[in-house]
Amino acid sequence: MGTRLGNLRPNARGTPPLRRRSRLGDRLFKGLSVSMAAGLIALLALLLVVLSVGGYRALSKFGLHFLTGRNWNPVFGREDFGALPFIFGTLVTSAIAIVLAVPVAVGLALLLNEMQLGWLRNPLAVFVDLLAAIPSVVYGLWGLFIMKPVFDHTVEPFLTNTIGQVPAIGALFRGAKYCVETQVGNPRACVKFGYNSNGGDLFTAGVILAVMILPIVTAVTREVVAVVPRDLREGALALGATRYETIRMAVLPYAKSGIVGATMLGLGRALGETIAVSMVVGNGLGIGPSLFRPGYTIPAVIASEFREATSVGVHRSALLALALVLVVVSLVLAALSRMRVRRTARLVGGPTPAGAAEIPALEVTG
């Protein structure tokens, strides 16, 4: 016993050996954490530098036209690179995925956390989690051979004949316009128009992306909903609220910042998806209001053309400039989502006391 107590005796400076070791471990852990954080920032900066240097030739040659142009011609001597169709396709397919996936993900998270499902709860949770383990190419093949024919012959014609007839919003659900019936004696005068929605399109790619990001958004939302204080639920029920009103007035407002963060994580996955989207998006350069027209995305065009691109001309430089545009878009969306998360957390939790450290509800990365 005397030996053990002797090990704890303070040294000449009055600091016990165990405390010195603890402080040394804390300093090592802090130094390692700071080094890793700085390394990640340096890696991101290096990525931006490499893409900027690689895409400089294309950006300097075409200038603002690179972002606003609609033509993409990699033939040497007639090169013309405009990234607007790819930016448009990337943003539209990602927006479709978010609009379709987030309500379903939030509903699944509430169903698994707030409802008494008995034996169905665990199998349903495992099934949703397993969706994240399916490779992208499998999603692409499923969309190409199973989902696309169903959409071409059933879903999209139905949407065209119903929502497509509504003014304004109906323009989103119409395919390529063609003449069904011409005027008698004047073949150039069309009496009745139809809309062809066959083939790959932005809507099909967006639905594929919605299925792919569903597990991510659901998993994060489940964790956020699970940490909602029990007192909020019991307080709402004590005031006479129903289960639905408790979820609407107590659970969802408290978890809103986390749901926004989960949405941005799903958006980051949707922006960068390549293989599955390239199989069903149609690979067209058109820009218009219709979701049933073929499109193209930035990751898809980089994956399909980078192997054939050479340093002769500016084709490879244009592809690297596209990658730079994608990274910048992701960073901008991540920054906006971070601001949204902080604002929502401040509205829900009240102002942060002066001098108190701000604890983010969710760490969002692009």
Which has the closest alpha carbon to 269: 83, 137, 46, 97?
Answer: 97
Domain membership of residue 245 as a residue range: 65-152+204-349
Q: Is residue 74 part of a domain?
A: yes
Q: Is residue 359 part of a domain?
A: no
What CATH number should be reported for the domain holding residue 339?
A: 1.10.3720.10
Q: Is residue 242 part of a domain?
A: yes
Residues 294-324 have pLDDT tens digits of 899 999 999 888 888 877 778 899 999 999 9
Stretch 149-154: mean pLDDT: 87
Residues 260-306 have pLDDT tens digits of 888 988 998 899 888 899 999 988 888 888 898 889 999 999 988 88
Secondary structure of residue 295 in the 3-state scheme: strand
Q: Is residue 170 part of a domain?
A: no
Amino acid (one-letter) located at 180: V
The number of distinct structural domains making up the chain is 1
* pLDDT band with cut points at 50, 70 and 90 for residue 365: very low
Report the percent of the chain where pLDDT is more than 70: 81
Predicted model pTM: 0.81
Q: Can you spell out the DSSP letters for 123-183?
A: HHHHHHHHGGGS-HHHHHHHIIIIIHHHIIIIIHHHHHHTGGGSTTGGGGG--EEEEEEEE
* pLDDT band with cut points at 50, 70 and 90 for residue 183: low
Q: Is residue 366 part of a domain?
A: no
Residues 37-90 have pLDDT tens digits of 999 999 999 999 999 999 999 999 988 999 998 989 888 878 889 999 999 999
Distance CA 247, CA 236 (A): 9
pLDDT of residue 23: 78
Distance CA 288, CA 200 (A): 15
